[in-house]
Amino acid sequence: MSRSMRQWRPEDLDKAGRYHLMTACVVPRPIAWTSTVSKDGTTNLAPFSFFGGVSSDPWTVMLSVGRRRDGSHKDTARNILESGEAVIHISTRENEQWMVASSAGLDPDQSEIDHLQIATEPAIEVAPPRVADAAIALEAKRVHHQEVGRTPVDLFLLEVVRVHVAKDVLEGDLPDGAKLGAVGRLGGTGYCTTDQTYEIDRPQE
Ligand SMILES: Cc1cc2nc3c(=O)[nH]c(=O)nc-3n(C[C@H](O)[C@H](O)[C@H](O)COP(=O)(O)O)c2cc1C
C-alpha cells in the first residue's frame, strides 16, 4: 500500500516553520542535561536535545547549541569554548522537571544549580560538577568546534573521558533502558520515555 505523502522543501519554509518541522520529524532525541563552568567559576546547567553519539573509539558525542536571539553564545557554548569541558547527564523521568526548569534563561553570573538547589558531586576528570542523582553522567572534553548554518549554531564534538552509571539502572554491566527511564524530546513540548522497551533480532551483516 502506498501512503499519501505531503512534502516540503525546508528552504521554502520560514525560520520558525523549518525549526518546528525538523524537531517534529527527527525524533526521539536524547537530552543532554549539560553542566559547565564559566571562567569566573559560575556553574551552569541546561538541556540540549540536538545531541547524539558519533563514535565509540574514542567515545565521541556531538552537542549542538543554538545562539540567543541577539546572536550571542548561550552560556553552555561560551563555557565549553572557554574551558573545553562539560558533564552531560542523560535526562530521565526522575529529573525531567528539573531538567526543563534549568532551561530558563538566567543571567550568566547566576547558576541554575544554585537557583534550583540541585545536589552535585565533583566530577573526576573535569571541573564542571556532576548532578548527584542523575543515573548516567558523561565527563567530556571538547575535541572540535564548528559554527554551522546561516543562523549559526555552535556544534561541539566532545570526547567522553569518564562514564558514571547508577548501579540501580544496570542489567549486568550495561544500563537497561526500562530501568533508566531515559527521556526523549519530540516536537514542541512533547516527550517520550524508554520505560517500555522491546527487542528485534538483527540479520547477520
Ligand atoms: C528539552 C529541551 C531541549 C533543548 N534543546 C536545545 C537544543 O538542542 N539547542 C539549544 O540551543 N537549546 C535547547 N534548549 C533550550 C536551552 O536549554 C535554553 O536556551 C537554555 O537557557 C540555555 O542555557 P544556557 O544559556 O545556560 O546555556 C532546550 C530546552 C529544553 C527544555
The pLDDT value recorded for residue 106 is: 87
Distance between Cα 124 and ligand 1 center (Å): 25
Output the furthest CA–CA distance in the chain (Å, rounded): 61
Indicate if the pLDDT at residue 68 is higher than 90. Answer: yes
Q: What is the residue with the minimal CA distance to atom 5 of ligand 1?
A: 48
Is there an atom of ligand 1 within 6 Å of 193 CB?
no
Q: What is the residue with the minimal CA distance to atom 15 of ligand 1?
A: 103
Secondary structure in 3-state letters for the chain: CCCCCCCCCHHHCCHHHHHHHHHHHCCCEECEEEEEECCCCCEEEEEECCEEEEEECCEEEEEEECECCCCCECHHHHHHHHHCEEEEEECEHHHHHHHHHCCCCCCCCCCHHHHCCCCEECCCCCCCCEECCCCEEEEEEEEEEEEECCCCEEEEEEEEEEEEECHHHEECCEECHHHHCEEEECCCCCEEECCCCCCCCCCCC
Q: What is the residue with the minimal CA distance to atom 13 of ligand 1?
A: 48
Average pLDDT over the chain reads 97
Would you place residue 1 in the very low, low, confident or very high pLDDT band (cuts 50, 70, 90)?
confident
Would you place residue 108 in the very low, low, confident or very high pLDDT band (cuts 50, 70, 90)?
confident
Indicate if the pLDDT at residue 57 is higher than 90. Answer: yes
* For residues 174-194, average pLDDT: 98
All structural domains of the chain = 27-190 (2.30.110.10)
Instruction: Judge if pTM exceeds 0.75.
Output: yes
pLDDT over 90, % of the chain: 96
The pLDDT value recorded for residue 13 is: 98
Would you place residue 25 in the very low, low, confident or very high pLDDT band (cuts 50, 70, 90)?
very high
* For residues 105-120, average pLDDT: 92
